[in-house]
Amino acid sequence: MKFHRIIFFSFLVGGVVVASSVQAVGLGVKPKKLEVQARSWQTVQTEFLVMNVSQEPGLYQVYADGLENKINFEPTEFKLEPGSSQVVKLTVKSIAAGIYSTNISVVARPLGSGGLISASGVKLPLVLTITRLDWFLVLAFGLVCLLVGYVVLWILRTKRRINNNQH
């Protein structure tokens, strides 16, 4: 018998256990879509809820399919007991103006490791609408700063002049 060409895809014991028990790993994610609006170069935060909707504890992982360098999650990996949930915070770092679209992947895996694992995943659409800075406001802010600086300078000079006169 060509034993070396026989392939085992599961543990014998594990197979029996799996067959004798109903194991299911699942997840729920709320909301079903994330839409984030921000101004360019602004850091913005939002959050979503990950729930273990199955009757088995599982390991959960969160990651972004795109914009990986601009999106942070906290936490990214966690264990959830049946019926438990975890709020995941999403932070989008400074980014140029534009409309960005990607998916957030959330995967629920069973605790048993080895063989072919079947896992549940949810793709949560994320749409980032980043608008440009309002240059008129920036200009106005700059003018106000200049004006305040001028007034402060004038007060300091006036005080110095009064002091000089007193001495």
Partner 1 sequence: MKKIKNCWLTLLLLAIAVQPVFVSASIPQAVGYLESQADDPWITMALIASGQTAVASGHLRQVSGTSATDYAKTILAVSALNQDPATFGNIDYIAQLKSKYDGTQMGDSNLLNDDAWSILALASVGQVESAQAQAAKDFLLANQNADGGWSYSVGAGSDTNDTAAVVMALVEAGASADSRVIGNALAYLRSAQNDDGGFGYQPGNDSDSGSDAWIISALIKLDIDPATWIKNSNNPVTHLESLQADDGGFWWVDPSGAEWNNKAMTAYAVIALSGFSYPIGYYQAADDPDPIEGQYHLRIEGSTSTICDIYVSATTALDLIEQAASECGYSYNITQESFGPYLRSISDDTAQGLDGWLYFVNNVSPPVGAADYELQSGDEVLWYFGQWGWLPTRITASQTEINPGDTIGLSAEYFDGNNWQPLSQAVIKINNEERIAQSNGQLNVNIYENGVYQVYVDMNGYVRSPKKTINVGDTVNNNVGLQVEIDQTSGSGQGNIGGEAIALVVGSSQVSFGSLGPGESGSQAVNLSNEGTVQLAIGASVSGDVVFTQGITIDDQFYDDYSSSLAPYEDHDAQVTLTIPQDYLASGIKNGELIFWATAQ
List the interface residues with partner 1, window 60-119 (CB under 8 A): 60-61, 74-75, 77-79, 81-85, 87, 89, 103, 105, 107, 109-119
Phi, psi of 112 (to 5 degrees): -75, 135
Q: Please give the C-alpha separations between residue 81 and each of 56, 57, 96, 104, 112, in angstroms, as whole numbers.
A: 7, 4, 39, 22, 14
Cβ–Cβ < 8 Å for 102, 116: no
Contact status: 3 vs partner 1 (CB under 8 A): yes
- At closest approach, how far in Å is the CB of 155 from partner 1? 28
Q: Please give the C-alpha separations between residue 73 and each of 89, 105, 133, in angstroms, as whole numbers.
A: 6, 11, 26
Q: Please give the C-alpha separations between residue 143 and each of 136, 138, 140, 150, 155, in angstroms, as whole numbers.
A: 11, 9, 5, 10, 18
Among 66, 98, 125, 142, binds partner 1 (CB under 8 A): 125
- At closest approach, how far in Å is the CB of 145 from partner 1? 30
- At closest approach, how far in Å is the CB of 88 from partner 1? 9
What is the phi-psi region of residue 67: left when phi exceeds 0, alpha when psi lies from -120 to 50, beta otherwise? Answer: left
- Residues from 43 through 62 that contact partner 1 (CB under 8 A): 47-49, 51, 53-57, 59-61
User: Which positions from 4 to 43 touch partner 1 by CB under 8 A, shown as an x/- string?
Assistant: xxxxxxxxxxxx-xxxxxxxxxxxxxxxxx----------
User: Which residue lies nearer to partner 1 by CB, 49 or 155?
Assistant: 49
- At closest approach, how far in Å is the CB of 95 from partner 1? 23
User: Which residue lies nearer to partner 1 by CB, 67 or 122?
Assistant: 122
- At closest approach, how far in Å is the CB of 94 from partner 1? 22
